[in-house]
Amino acid sequence: MKELPTKTPPRPGRILLNTQMLADEFNDMGWNFLLNSKDKTPSFRGFELYTGQEDLTDGLIYMLPKGGTKGFPVDSRPFVTTDSVFGAAPHIRSIKCTDPELLNALLQIFERYHQFEADINDVLMNSGSLNDLCAIGIRFFHNPLYIHDRMFTVIALPEYKEGMIQFERSESGSSIHIPLWLINDFKFDDAYIDTLTKHEAAIWGREEFPRNMRSLYVNIWDDQYYCGRLLINELDTPLKPGQFRLAEMFAEYVKIIMLKDMQHPQKIYSDYEDTVRMIIRGDEPDARDVNALLEILGWQENDAYVCLKLESQSADIQIKSDSALRSKLTAVFPRSFEFFHEQRLCMIINVTSDRRDGENIKAALGPLVRDSYMYCGISSPIKGLRRLRIGFDQTDITLRFIEFRRSRWTMLFSECAPYYMIRTLAHTMPPSDLVSEEIQDLRRMDKEKNTDYYNTLKTYLENERSIPRTSEALIIHRTTLQYRLEKIAQLTHLNLDDPDVRMYLALSFRILEYVDAVPSVEAQ
């Protein structure tokens, strides 16, 4: 869990308006007008009727009565008018209504915004929740809205409406979150990833997912720390241009409550991928983050997990751009947890709930990995979420072995574990000091006298001392094999009936085979 600095939450600002917000209101009234608004920054919190006064106040927009615009600095002060006067300052002119109608409208609009601000501040002053705040937002934006944190856990949802995302509830029922399949879509969607860089309000439109609605969203930032997102779903009323800036101001109030909650031990908002990466690095994550991760995935901490790591066979192919592969992986393993780590695509499969063993996982992955020109290393089942580091260490070992052999696309750690153990042994001391002296003597004799005792003993042990199978493997007569074995016994005095002797000889053969096969690796 990332440590957040303890700080005093910022003081609430004020809800200010710009000419676009007023234009939205006039549109709702059915009035025609001309809008000139180069500066979209909300800057005024009230209005004043211009009657020729020279002392004009900052932070106000002026209503110019028809025929009474003379002397007003139209190039520097914002204004609204039913007249056709033009100026360089932000303004709305030629409004098709009477001056009394415009005056009454302005009174009602600013009163409504002031009440909105008062209701929000009342929530803050009385230590209200994000749900309380969002309930006020729903009444003002006339659309359902909600907030999720970095973990896609929904932390504010005053009411659910038909047409919104079908949220999932945790097994304990204590929290709701964005569905995992949709999270996986988002994580690998370049358009969605781009939205995580935004510091201003924007639209997640119909061309993106979900396609049945648009949403106005604002990312919640604490300096450069992404805390979550406010979303306003376009379900009841059309979204309006002026609501972009209004949503940004509303999000500042959201941040105030979130920062206050972050100082409460039960309300830390953290990135669930960061929690997994901490475990993989061998760090100790906060227990709250682990519990939140388990809850959102519906897993148990002591379940069995299989770890997978995929990488491209070619430096020219970027695995992150292979959306077809990711879509297929999600379809084959719908409850898996996928993330990028160190330029590789990683997966965690809960085999306690998925009920697939390594061979089944390997069989399902084989065609996908082959067609996508990838390599995939698969760990042995790992008992316990906090031991994932072991699983991903196994995937790294497996990938290195695949890259060396280049004979297959997908491999289980159990298939290369013996070679890993042998490699580890071969690095403890020089092979000549580690392996059996007797088989080294046989090897030297073969080179000097052109015999084949070394390979004969190796094949004999590999075939579990079966004379028929060994002679068949060596393509020699059984009598010839018997003769060679007798000579080996005379030269080495090895007791092949002793299982420990046989195990030592088998390891020695493997170590020498490994050293012969990978001199470049040993040189490193």
Q: Can you state the percent helix, strand and coil of the chain, rounding each to 5? A: 45, 15, 35
pLDDT: which is higher, 406 or 96: 96
In the Cβ-directed half-sphere of 331, how many Cα atoms lie within 13 Å? 7
Least confident of 91-95, 124-128, 177-181, 493-497: 177-181
Looking at residue 443, its amino acid is: R
Are 163 and 145 in contact by the 8 Å Cβ rule? The answer is no
Pair of tokens at residue 449? 């006298």
Pair of tokens at residue 56? 């004009």
pLDDT: which is higher, 264 or 27: 27
Looking at residue 255, its amino acid is: K
Report the percent of the chain where pLDDT is more than 70. 90
pLDDT surpassing 50 at residue 7 = no
Residue 30 backbone zone (phi > 0: left; psi -120 to 50: alpha; other: beta): left
pLDDT of residue 287: 84
pLDDT surpassing 60 at residue 11 = no
Angle ∠(305,419,303) on CA atoms, nearest 5: 10
- Measure CA of the first residue to CA of the last residue in the chain; give whole Å: 37
Distance CA 36, CA 479 (A): 105
pLDDT of residue 244: 96
pLDDT: which is higher, 422 or 239: 239
Sign of CA dihedral 509, 510, 515, 518: positive
pLDDT surpassing 90 at residue 230 = yes
**Long-range contacts of 70-79, Cβ-Cβ distance < 8 Å, separation of 24 or more:** 78/19, 78/43, 78/44, 79/50
pLDDT surpassing 90 at residue 13 = no
Give, in order, the Cα–Cα distances in Å from 139 to each of 158, 173, 257, 495, 518. Answer: 11, 27, 19, 88, 70
pLDDT of residue 406: 73
pLDDT surpassing 70 at residue 410 = yes
> Mean per-residue pLDDT for 445-462?
94
Q: pLDDT class for 237, splitting at 50, 70, 90? A: very high
Phi/psi of residue 156, nearest 5 degrees: -155, 120
- At 45 the three-state DSSP class reads coil
pLDDT of residue 401: 87
Q: What is the DSSP letter of 427?
A: T
pLDDT: which is higher, 56 or 40: 56
Distance CA 95, CA 185 (A): 47
Distance CA 138, CA 133 (A): 9
Are 509 and 419 in contact by the 8 Å Cβ rule? The answer is no
Distance CA 238, CA 217 (A): 14
Distance CA 46, CA 110 (A): 6
pLDDT of residue 72: 96
Nearest to 308 by CA among 355, 274, 340, 271: 340
Q: pLDDT class for 481, splitting at 50, 70, 90? A: very high
Phi/psi of residue 344, nearest 5 degrees: -130, 150
Are 234 and 214 in contact by the 8 Å Cβ rule? The answer is yes
pLDDT surpassing 90 at residue 105 = yes
Are 473 and 464 in contact by the 8 Å Cβ rule? The answer is no
Give, in order, the Cα–Cα distances in Å from 132 to each of 28, 253, 414. Answer: 27, 12, 54
pLDDT of residue 39: 74
1-5, 111-115, 181-185, 331-335, range with greatest mean pLDDT: 111-115
Nearest to 64 by CA among 86, 83, 43: 83
Distance CA 113, CA 136 (A): 12
Scanning the structure block, which residue is given the tokens 């020109």?
373
Q: pLDDT class for 84, splitting at 50, 70, 90? A: very high
Are 479 and 394 in contact by the 8 Å Cβ rule? The answer is no
205-214, 380-389, 402-411, 511-520, range with greatest mean pLDDT: 380-389
Distance CA 305, CA 381 (A): 5
Are 438 and 432 in contact by the 8 Å Cβ rule? The answer is no
pLDDT of residue 301: 92
Mean per-residue pLDDT over the chain, rounded: 86
Distance CA 69, CA 52 (A): 8
Q: pLDDT class for 473, splitting at 50, 70, 90? A: very high
Distance CA 133, CA 153 (A): 17
Give, in order, the Cα–Cα distances in Å from 269 to each of 166, 286, 290. Answer: 22, 12, 12
Distance CA 12, CA 119 (A): 12
Q: pLDDT class for 425, splitting at 50, 70, 90? A: confident
Q: pLDDT class for 328, splitting at 50, 70, 90? A: confident
pLDDT surpassing 80 at residue 174 = no
Helix extents (H) in 409-518: 413-426, 431-434, 437-449, 453-462, 467-474, 478-492, 499-517
- At 340 the three-state DSSP class reads strand
Helix extents (H) in 126-265: 130-141, 180-187, 190-195, 243-262
Nearest to 18 by CA among 83, 79, 107: 79
At 138-164, the pLDDT tens digits run: 999 999 999 998 888 899 999 999 889
pLDDT of residue 455: 95
